[in-house]
Amino acid sequence: MHTTDPPDAGIRPAAGGLPAELGRRLYRDMLATRLLDTEAIALQRQGVFPAYVSVRGQEAAQVGSAAAAERGTDFVFPTYREMGVALTLGVDMAGYMASHRALWHGGLYDPMASRFAPVNAVVGGPVPHAVGWAVGERLRGGGGCALSYFGDGASSEGDVHEAMNFAGVYGAPVVFICQNNRWALSVPNERQIAGGSVAARAAGYGMPGVTVDGNDAAAVHAATHEALERARNGEGPTLIEALTYRLEPHSTSDDPGRYRDPAEERAWRGRDPLPRLRRELERAGHAGAAFFACAEAEARADAERIRDAVSAAPEPPGTDMFAYVLREPTRELARQQRVWHEEVEA
């Protein structure tokens, strides 16, 4: 059985810690993500969600990076696991969770208003979209940057390589954020990442590659902020590899006991980013018992509200399958809709 060790060396440390208010905000968003994630797993167990992919253990990588984005200007391109990013950016979370309930492909929220693209379940799929948007943003003279999220498994997809090469050639204002959670479903890093590092590949695309401790919210935030500043100054893209760990199964249909050593999981649970940030805030004197109690109560109430909202959301009409495919329906699409009506009305 394969095991991996937690990262201890060769990664960029936090740049001077976090300002008090930023640290408290990151903690609140990480805690809210953790509690909502717990509710989502319960919804799947209750049959409300057909399936779900947990973000537990990756909250610092997601919240820390998303908090560095400029609201209303930058645009984020997620996979199917970026709950913490969505929450940090203020996305309507009941609408976001509608995708996990299979009510609507991509989510029932406004991507343009939230600057958070539709949930994308294609492995590596959002990365070319991010690069295309970034090039278009520069051509129109805008000041926004794209943030593209993907996992270590997706880093081996052709879409990702092509998108990074294109971004490097054209100097696109995009930040690639690889959450390396050590497992491409059941395949460990060394069996699908040649050279042992995703960040090392950046040199071949003419961009900086940065490796950070993905469980250190301050380090992730600092690296993302620096990369965004480079992009805004016309210095091109950056690849950030956030070393973290997926504490839960790949999805609710996965059994990690078939391929992961329990000792490895225990070691990484000891590096849980949420209590780690709490300890740092307490040591710095930035937060006390009253803050943590209030954050817990607010996050739990929000998680329960979102849970109830997505559970009670009505299913969309079947005609939506045809109404939002093309601006001008084709004859074939019209034929499919007629067949569907005949089958439903029969």
Active site residues: 246, 250, 259
State how far the alpha carbon of 320 is from the alpha carbons of 135, 340, 344, in Å.
31, 12, 14
Question: Do the beta carbons of residue 228 and residue 67 sit within 8 Å?
Answer: no
Strands 209-213 and 238-243, sheet pairing:
parallel
The answer to whether the Cα torsion of 13, 18, 23, 25 is positive or negative is negative
Among candidate residues 111, 119, 4, 129, the one with its CA nearest the CA of residue 52 = 119
CA–CA gap between residue 168 and residue 101 (Å, rounded): 37
Question: Do the beta carbons of residue 276 and residue 17 sit within 8 Å?
Answer: no
Residue 323 — φ and ψ, nearest 5°? -75, -25
How many other C-beta atoms are found inside a 10 Å radius of the C-beta of residue 318? 12
Tokens of 225: 């902020």
